[in-house]
Structure 1
């Protein structure tokens, strides 16, 4: 199981939000590229990036910070937030991004997700962010009646590389991931699933790894910044 350190970008800084609320942002580093390098130096194999401003704006906002990370780090990175048309997808992949994450358009424009997955095999993931099992879009600001598992099943035959499942109520709260919901989603589809939201300790990672269904990975942010989760130790445990 891959551990993806998260770098959430707001106004050019690396921050963490509490349950996705933009007015509850804690700045952890003014230099996101330096933060990325510290994660890479600790041994991570991937980086998870989110353009928070972009998620609300519907277009890339923190492009300079993302580009600095891509130029300064040699591990693959995936990015979500504000990626809502083919031109933006192509631009990011051309700039060296390994994988784009499509969230809002997975609900609003499923044909775009399918087109992108066909055009760029292995480089398109679907982000499913949910409160109480219902999908939220546009930076989590808009709630829908779409069931998270139903949405995942819609892409079973689309060729997407992964589903990144975030329990919004757990995100940034340091209360542990929603293991039951994540495992249930992973059982419902053949697409690899990456867990996100609330991963705050080594015990959380072990519980996800041993949840009874194989997960592709887990994303952690605040716990790495706060020191509640030691990245080197976590990577060693997962390798072992």
Structure 2
């Protein structure tokens, strides 16, 4: 299982929020490119870019994300406010490895089906959960669908995988919710990238045992509580 650094961007700066709450920044860094490159220089084989401005309807960071794709030299997945087919096409054309779609995919499953058919193996369904329920609109609203409903919808789609962010533990540095993670990964019909609460190497090892394909890690990397560049097999939890 791969450990993937999170590069979350708000107000055109790299941030780490607690539970997705505006104003809860624990980390703020001014240079998106240099931050992304710092992880690559430490050996990270993959990057996770999140456009929080896009998710919160505050504009977007697509131009700088395209520059990251071009300059960093590792595969990149991008999420946050991606709600149009034209933007998906633009990011795929720019070289993004995976495109994460959440709110619109959950609200309009037929749209998810259409874009995944148009870009097989490129689309990830973003399924953010809080207290076990799906949340949308930058984690600000509840979905009418359950997690199980969504699993049924996506089971036959040609997705690259599913990103599950557990908002209940996101950014709190208290560890993952073991039962929620195990249940979600075991029931999901696609490969799962887990996010939220990954605080220690043991969390990564546990997610690997549960069958996750990757773990997105933010604050624990920025504060160096997790140092995967020093592992026997850097950036991989087996």
Gap runs ≥5 in structure 1: none
- 1:207-232 deviations in Å (ceiling 9; x for gaps): 11123xx2111110000001111130
Shift of 1:119: 0.9
Size of the aligned set, in residue pairs, is 237
Gap runs ≥5 in structure 2: none
Shift of 1:64: 2.9
Where does residue 183 of structure 1 map in the other structure? 182
Q: Secondary structure at the match of 2:134?
A: strand
Hey, what's the Cα distance between the residues in 2 that align with 1:134 and 1:110?
A: 17
- 1:80-103 deviations in Å (ceiling 9; x for gaps): 111111111001111111111010
Q: Secondary structure at the match of 2:121?
A: coil
2:205–2:237: 8 Å Cα contact kept in structure 1? no
* Greater fraction of residues in strand: 1
Where does residue 82 of structure 2 map in the other structure? 83
Q: Secondary structure at the match of 2:56?
A: helix
TM-score normalised to structure 2 length: 0.94
Hey, what's the Cα distance between the residues in 2 that align with 1:138 and 1:106?
A: 11
TM-score normalised to structure 1 length: 0.93
2:66–2:91: 8 Å Cα contact kept in structure 1? no
Hey, what's the Cα distance between the residues in 2 that align with 1:165 and 1:42?
A: 25
Hey, what's the Cα distance between the residues in 2 that align with 1:151 and 1:239?
A: 28
What is the root-mean-square deviation of aligned Cα atoms in Å? Answer: 1.6
Runs of 4+ deviating beyond 6 Å: none
Shift of 1:143: 1.5
Shift of 1:65: 2.6
